[in-house]
Structures are given as C-alpha cells and as structure tokens.
Amino acid sequence: DAKTTQPTSMDCAEGRAANLPCNHSTISGNEYVYWYRQIHSQGPQYIIHGLKNNETNEMASLIITEDRKSSTLILPHATLRDTAVYYCIVRVSGGGADGLTFGKGTHLIIQP
Amino acid sequence: DTGVSQDPRHKITKRGQNVTFRCDPISEHNRLYWYRQTLGQGPEFLTYFQNEAQLEKSRLLSDRFSAERPKGSFSTLEIQRTEQGDSAMYLCASSPTRGFSGANVLTFGAGSRLTVL
C-alpha cells in the first residue's frame, strides 16, 4: 500500500472550512484514497473515498490532484463536534484482505 | 441500531488471566476485521474473516491470540495469559463483500478497552 503523510495537528475556527492535506506520492493507479475520522474514545468513522475524481457527500468533499499524488479533505463548515483525528489511507481494492492500514493521522482541533 | 456491536466495552484483568471479546457485525456484511489501537497510535490490523474463514493474520497476532467466527456471523477474540503490553482498545469492523464504487468501506464498532494490571 502507498504510504501517506499528514500533518500531526491542525486548528480551525468554528464555522470556517477545515482543509486537511494528505500526500500520497507513491499511489498506484488502482489505489483508492479513503478518509476516516476518530472522535475520542470511539471507533473510526468512514467519511469519504475517491479514486480519480473529486467527491462530495453530506459530510465532506475530497479533492484529489490530477496526478493523484495528494488530496485534501474539506469540511465546509466545521463545528466543535468535528474535533477528531483524521486518517488518510490509500488502499488497493480487491484481492487480499482489503484491510486498511492507519497511520497516526491529523489531530484537528476546532476552536470556538 | 444495526451497527457493529462490541462487548464488553471495558475489561480490567490481572496479568496472566484470559479474556474474550465479542463482535457482532452488521448482519449483511460477510467480512469482519479485528484491529488493536494503543494510546496515541492509529488502529493496527490484526486479522480478517470472510464468512467463517480466517483469511489473513497479522504478525501482531501472537500465539496467545485466537479469533473465531464459527457461523460466519459474530466473532470472538480471545487473549490467553494476558500481559501488560496487551492493554489497548480492540476494534472490530465489518464490510460487505463488494463495496460500492469498487471500494471497500469498513464500519467500525466502538471498541473494547482492555486494561491489564
């Protein structure tokens, strides 16, 4: 699996857009980019995933660069409940276990 | 609620005792995963089942650890002769065989926190 690099921590003001970067310069053509988050003392929660195109759902938007070597997760209007550790993961789909390999993620702190 | 359920949520035990955790996945999911998470780290993959078959085990899963999924529904993770280093959150996740959009999205439970004294 391709390795990802994320900042250790970030701050964002409540109500503003939170932009979380992720570098995955060794990503392969068949690897998806997944984002999960983990609120304190809970299990990880799926946010969004993408392959090549930008994606949006009710939680967030995922912007993937054209060369696929980096991506940005955007929380459009951050609230205090968005304070969590955010994990960017790249993983090939199909074959093997499809288990996800988590790094240390980005600790996002939403400031009131 | 049809999410992933884990039991117990918290377990405190003395070193050398055996402990068992149970996971009930989402009913229509036939893939089930166990992860371990220590303080300040991301979850680490332990093992994976497709239906009742255990298809992959991490090097982290020592011979004191055993996982089963006898009927392809719930799963148990047993740790024998616990050590203080086993203290961690044990997370269970499940997913359908074919994820939408060709991807594999895991749904996690809240975890079982183990403290070994």
> Which of A28-32, A56-60, B29-33, B44-48 has the weakest average pLDDT?
A28-32
- pLDDT value for A98: 58
- Distance from the Cα of A41 to chain B's closest Cα (Å) equals 8
- pLDDT value for B71: 87
Q: Which residues of A touch B103 (CB under 8 A)?
A: 32, 34, 49, 51, 93
Residue B78, beta-bridge partner list: B20, B66
Tell me how far apart the alpha carbons of residues B26 and B94 are, in angstroms, rounded to a whole number: 7
Which run of H or of E encompasses B57? Answer: strand B53-57
Residue A95: pLDDT band (50, 70, 90) is very low
Tell me how far apart the alpha carbons of residues B58 and B116 are, in angstroms, rounded to a whole number: 22
pLDDT means per 10 residues, chain B with 117 residues, are: 90 98 94 93 92 88 93 94 97 80 83 97
| Mean predicted lDDT score pLDDT of chain A | 91
Under 8 Å between Cβ of A39 and A84: yes
pLDDT, tens digit, for every residue of B49-83?
999 999 888 888 889 999 999 988 999 999 999 99
Tell me how far apart the alpha carbons of residues A71 and A86 are, in angstroms, rounded to a whole number: 13
Say whether pLDDT at A29 is over 60: yes
In percent, the amount of chain A with pLDDT more than 90 equals 75
Q: Judged by CB atoms within 8 Å, which residues 51-90 of B form the interface with A?
A: 55-56
**A43:B91 CB<8 A:** yes
Touching check for B93 and chain A: CB below 8 Å? yes
In the 8-state DSSP scheme, what is residue A17? Answer: P
**B93:A43 CB<8 A:** yes
Tell me how far apart the alpha carbons of residues B58 and B79 are, in angstroms, rounded to a whole number: 15
Q: Which residues of B touch A104 (CB under 8 A)?
A: 40-42
